[in-house]
């Protein structure tokens, strides 16, 4: 797919729940990738990726110590572990889903891969 | 079972965690203790809603309400406890009934000839009997996620209300000589903070070190999730069979190395540990525990050898004035059933079968409060809106129309258990009265289960004091026999 990459080519991730909210921690493989993602992977894009699940909002926090960013997705779990009727009550698959997100291919892709 | 002869270094404290949740691998604690040369084995069992389930069990049986895995695991640890004089156990598996859990553990220990082992029960987290008094003292108990005010109606349906205790009760228990510490709702990270404070003699305002130990606790509290479990970069080379559980080697200044026993599967690398650092956090600059307001944002991870990661640069600020309280209220019942649907148009067939279940119920005069139909395998577990790159035509591969087998899952939530039992009866008829290609209906019919809705709140920490009781295993059993101490 010329011109596009999957997020998973430059980062790895893990997701989980806090009540009815979920978080997705995204860790860049390299410093260059972390720099790229700070402009390429915004809270708005994450909200759009999961629009079908209607999060009330998405915040992004940075962890420069490990070149990571943490997305908090509010009220995305349809009731959370206790009340959600979904199979994935705790948002465990949000991270693998986000890693499939398409991003514009950065010119320096070679130094962003693992 | 080999006897551990390696001398422990007084400068380095070794804390391992052998359980990440209720239901985690029963053999992991024993395997970790056998080869981990641990000073402390922690066992973390309480998720947000575990206490409400335990409260439900206690409401039926006054000697229940703790995590039943605890005595089973302690029994498996008997050889390690006998051969390793330094080994201590700290667990929050006491749940809603730490003293009953202690008695179950005491029974196991005494039967093994370890009746002299001192066991502590740490409680004081259960606020349910005190909520009216706390309200009278000005606590509003509003839901801190939604901002909703507490109502008399919700209050009347509460099944559990537990403050998150910090490490102070654990430290007191250890100072009074406990070798096994069983607690109620102690914060996950505090299971690690307690032994560190006790061994190193840190003060309760040593925020940097308390933060460092909280990072250690956070990293190991979910067991194998720090050592290769759940890791995004999984490959078969990771050898999840015989997965090693995590341990930290901590120095008195709070720096620590995360590792796992040699010869075990999994991996401890920058990648596996960084994924756990970001697991289930909100603002990384303010990871709040009852012990400290910890800042993860500058934490660094350095691989220093095979399966060894040095963790440093945590920062701490004074502990928050408010304590988190997990409450849960009874909210009816839920039930779910599944069928497998096969065929060239499996997704359409499955959707039709799901609709049939609900329409036949309506014909029988039954409306359920909430229902959901999932066609698993057709891309419904999580919406896949970005299946192709932006601007590209949709591909056929993996789209719902080409899937030839789907798991149909229909779930429902309703105040009436009887209605849900009737709902679950509608799956089997689809074997003969549904679309072609329906299978997967054998096995016992599932049952409705009670729902405990989550209501997180905070209260001023002045209202919560941990209680600590320490006796030998034999003394605990005597006290239960005459009923005078723990009636």
Give mean pLDDT, residues B382-394.
62
Out of B23-32, B101-110, B145-154, B391-400, which region has the weakest mean confidence (pLDDT)? B391-400
* Gap between the Cα atoms of B375 and B346, Å rounded: 9
For chain A positions 5-44, those within 8 Å of chain B (CB to CB) are 8, 12-14, 16-21, 23, 25-27
* B481 — pLDDT class (breaks 50, 70, 90): low
Give mean pLDDT, residues B316-326.
98
pLDDT, tens digit, 9 for 90 and up, residues A35-58: 999 999 999 999 999 998 999 999
Is position B462 within any domain?
no
* B5 — pLDDT class (breaks 50, 70, 90): very low
Give mean pLDDT, residues B173-188.
98
Is position B8 within any domain?
no
Nearest-CA distance A111 → chain B (Å): 17
B210 C-beta neighbours (distance < 10 Å), count: 31
Give mean pLDDT, residues A87-97.
94
pLDDT at B396: 39
pLDDT at B431: 95
pLDDT, tens digit, 9 for 90 and up, residues B259-291: 999 999 999 999 999 999 999 999 999 999 999
> And the tokens for B389?
């790159």
Considering only CB atoms, A16 lies closest to which of B232, B280, B454, namely B280
B86 C-beta neighbours (distance < 10 Å), count: 13
Residues B280 and B365 grouped into a single domain: no
State the average pLDDT for chain B: 93
Residues B428 and B337 grouped into a single domain: yes
Is position B6 within any domain?
no
| Backbone φ and ψ of B205, nearest 5° | -115, 20
pLDDT > 90: what percent of chain A? 93
Cα–Cα distances in angstroms (integers) from residue B380 to residues B256, B369, B374, B475, in the given order: 42, 22, 7, 56
Residues B293 and B350 grouped into a single domain: no
* Gap between the Cα atoms of B102 and B106, Å rounded: 6
pLDDT at B123: 98
Is position B93 within any domain?
yes
* B371 — pLDDT class (breaks 50, 70, 90): very high
DSSP annotation string for B1-35: -PPP-PPPPTT-EEEEE--SSTTS-TTHHHHHHHH
Residues B344 and B310 grouped into a single domain: no
pLDDT, tens digit, 9 for 90 and up, residues B71-98: 999 999 999 999 999 999 999 999 999 9
Query: Checking DSSP bridges between strand B180-183 and strand B118-123, what pairing results, if any?
Result: parallel
Tell me which of B270, B272, B280 to substitute to probe the interface with A (most A C-beta atoms closer than 10 Å). B280
* B479 — pLDDT class (breaks 50, 70, 90): confident
pLDDT at B397: 40
Q: Is residue B352 scored above 80 in pLDDT?
A: yes
A104 C-beta neighbours (distance < 10 Å), count: 12
Burial B165-197 (b: 16+ CB within 10 A, else e): bbbbbbbbbbeeebbbbbbbbbbbbbbbbbbbb
| Backbone φ and ψ of B405, nearest 5° | -145, 140
* B379 — pLDDT class (breaks 50, 70, 90): confident
Is position B356 within any domain?
yes
Give mean pLDDT, residues B407-427.
98
A98 C-beta neighbours (distance < 10 Å), count: 25
pLDDT at B386: 52
CATH number, domain with residue B407: 3.30.70
Q: Is residue B364 scored above 80 in pLDDT?
A: yes
Residues B269 and B297 grouped into a single domain: yes
B300 touches A: beta carbon within 8 Å:
yes
**Best CA proximity match to B42, nearest among B186, B168, B160:** B186
Give mean pLDDT, residues B371-397.
71
Considering only CB atoms, A82 lies closest to which of B411, B412, B453, namely B453
Residues B28 and B53 grouped into a single domain: yes
Nearest-CA distance A18 → chain B (Å): 6
Is position B156 within any domain?
no
H helices within B224-369, ranges in order? Answer: 270-277, 346-363
Residues B437 and B360 grouped into a single domain: yes
Is position B175 within any domain?
yes
H helices within B336-464, ranges in order? Answer: 346-363, 417-424, 430-433
Whole domain around residue B82: which residue ranges?
13-125+164-320
Q: Which residues in chain B are contacts of A63 at CB distance < 8 A?
A: 277-278, 284, 296-297, 299
3-state DSSP call for residue B188?
A: coil
Tell me which of A13, A49, A51, A65 to substitute to probe the interface with B (most B C-beta atoms closer than 10 Å). A65
Domain total of chain B: 2
pLDDT at A1: 45
pLDDT at B384: 57
pLDDT at B480: 64
B371 touches A: beta carbon within 8 Å:
yes
**Best CA proximity match to B429, nearest among B324, B329, B359, B332:** B359
* B48 — pLDDT class (breaks 50, 70, 90): confident
pLDDT at B7: 40
Q: Which residues are B41's β-sheet partners?
A: B16, B89
3-state DSSP call for residue B364?
A: coil
Is position B483 within any domain?
no
B419-425 contacts, C-beta under 8 A, 24 or more apart: B419/B366, B419/B368, B420/B333, B420/B334, B420/B335, B420/B368, B420/B448, B421/B335, B421/B447, B421/B448, B422/B361, B422/B364, B422/B366, B423/B335, B423/B337, B423/B357, B423/B361, B423/B366, B423/B368, B424/B335, B424/B337, B424/B448
Size of interface A-B (CB pairs under 8 A): 154
B128 C-beta neighbours (distance < 10 Å), count: 14
Residues B226 and B332 grouped into a single domain: no
* B403 — pLDDT class (breaks 50, 70, 90): confident
pLDDT, tens digit, 9 for 90 and up, residues B164-173: 999 999 999 9
Q: Does B145 sit within 8 Å of A19, measured CB to CB?
A: yes
Residues B294 and B178 grouped into a single domain: yes
Number of helices (H), then strands (E), in chain A: 4, 6
Which residue is associated with the tokens 């008094």?
B133
Residues B193 and B97 grouped into a single domain: yes
* Gap between the Cα atoms of B277 and B197, Å rounded: 22
| Backbone φ and ψ of B277, nearest 5° | -60, -35
pLDDT at B210: 98
B80-85 contacts, C-beta under 8 A, 24 or more apart: B80/B1, B80/B30, B80/B33, B80/B34, B81/B109, B81/B114, B81/B117, B81/B179, B82/B112, B82/B114, B83/B1, B83/B3, B83/B4, B84/B4, B84/B33, B84/B37, B84/B38
User: Count of residues for chain A?
Assistant: 114
Q: Does B275 sit within 8 Å of A65, measured CB to CB?
A: no
pLDDT, tens digit, 9 for 90 and up, residues A10-32: 999 999 999 999 999 999 999 99
> And the tokens for A57?
């909002």
Residues B297 and B437 grouped into a single domain: no
pLDDT at B10: 65
> And the tokens for B95?
């749940």
pLDDT, tens digit, 9 for 90 and up, residues B97-156: 999 999 999 999 999 999 999 999 999 999 999 999 999 999 999 999 999 999 999 999
Q: Which residues in chain B are contacts of A27 at CB distance < 8 A?
A: 271, 274-275, 278
Q: Strands, DSSP E only, in A1-114?
A: 4-6, 11-18, 21-28, 57-63, 68-74, 102-104
């Amino acid at each position: 797919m010329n011109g596009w990459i999957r997020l998973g080519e430059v980062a790895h991730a893990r997701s989980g729940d806090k009540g009815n909210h979920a978080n997705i921690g995204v860790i860049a493989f390299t410093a260059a990738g972390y720099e790229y993602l700070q402009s390429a992977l915004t809270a708005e894009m994450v909200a759009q990726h999961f629009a079908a699940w209607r999060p009330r909002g998405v915040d992004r926090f940075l962890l420069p110590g490990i070149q990571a960013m943490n997305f908090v997705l509010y009220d995305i779990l349809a009731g959370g572990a206790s009340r959600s009727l979904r199979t994935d009550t705790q948002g465990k698959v949000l991270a693998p889903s986000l890693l499939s997100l398409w991003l514009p291919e950065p010119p320096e892709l070679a130094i962003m891969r693992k | 079972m080999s006897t551990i002869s390696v001398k422990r270094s007084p400068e380095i404290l070794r804390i391992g965690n052998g359980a990440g949740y209720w239901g985690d691998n029963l053999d992991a604690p024993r395997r970790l203790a056998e080869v981990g040369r641990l000073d402390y084995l922690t066992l973390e069992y309480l998720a947000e809603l575990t206490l409400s389930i335990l409260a439900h069990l206690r409401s039926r049986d006054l000697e229940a309400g703790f995590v039943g895995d605890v005595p089973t695991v302690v029994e498996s640890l008997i050889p390690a406890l006998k051969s390793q004089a330094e080994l201590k156990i700290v667990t929050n598996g006491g749940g809603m009934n730490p003293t009953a859990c202690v008695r179950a553990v005491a029974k196991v220990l005494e039967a093994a000839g370890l009746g002299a082992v001192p066991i502590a029960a740490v409680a004081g987290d259960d606020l349910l009997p005190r909520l009216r008094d706390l309200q009278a003292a000005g606590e509003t108990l509003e839901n801190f996620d939604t901002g909703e005010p507490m109502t008399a109606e919700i209050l009347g349906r509460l099944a559990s209300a537990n403050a998150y205790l910090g490490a102070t009760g654990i430290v007191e228990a250890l100072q009074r000589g406990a070798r096994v510490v069983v607690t109620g709702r102690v914060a996950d990270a505090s299971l690690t903070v307690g032994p560190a404070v006790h061994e190193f003699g840190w003060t309760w305002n040593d925020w940097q070190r308390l933060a460092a130990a909280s990072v250690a606790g956070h990293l190991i509290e979910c067991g194998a999730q720090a050592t290769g479990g759940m890791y995004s970069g999984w490959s078969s080379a990771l050898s999840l069979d015989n997965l090693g559980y995590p341990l930290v080697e901590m120095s008195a200044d709070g720096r620590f190395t995360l590792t796992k026993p040699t010869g075990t599967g999994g991996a401890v690398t920058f990648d596996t540990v960084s994924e756990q650092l970001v697991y289930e956090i909100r603002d990384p600059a303010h990871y709040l525990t009852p012990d400290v307001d910890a800042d993860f944002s500058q934490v660094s991870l350095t691989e220093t050898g095979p399966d060894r990661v040095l963790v440093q640069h945590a920062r701490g600020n004074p502990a928050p004035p408010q304590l988190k309280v997990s409450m849960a209220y009874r909210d009816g019942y839920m039930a779910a059933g599944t069928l497998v649907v096969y065929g060239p148009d499996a997704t359409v067939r499955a959707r039709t079968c799901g609709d049939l279940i609900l329409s036949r119920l309506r014909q029988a005069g039954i409306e359920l409060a909430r229902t959901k139909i999932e066609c698993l395998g057709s891309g419904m577990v999580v919406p896949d809106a970005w299946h192709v790159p932006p601007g590209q035509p949709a591909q056929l591969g993996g789209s719902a129309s080409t899937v030839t087998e789907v798991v149909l899952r229909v779930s429902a939530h309703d105040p009436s258990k009887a209605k849900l039992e009737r709902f679950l009866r509608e799956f089997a008829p689809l074997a003969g009265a549904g679309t072609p290609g329906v299978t997967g209906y054998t096995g016992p019919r599932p049952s409705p289960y009670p729902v405990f809705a989550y209501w997180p709140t905070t209260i001023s920490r002045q209202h919560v004091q941990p209680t600590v009781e320490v006796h030998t295993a034999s003394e605990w059993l005597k006290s239960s026999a005459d009923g005078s101490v723990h009636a």
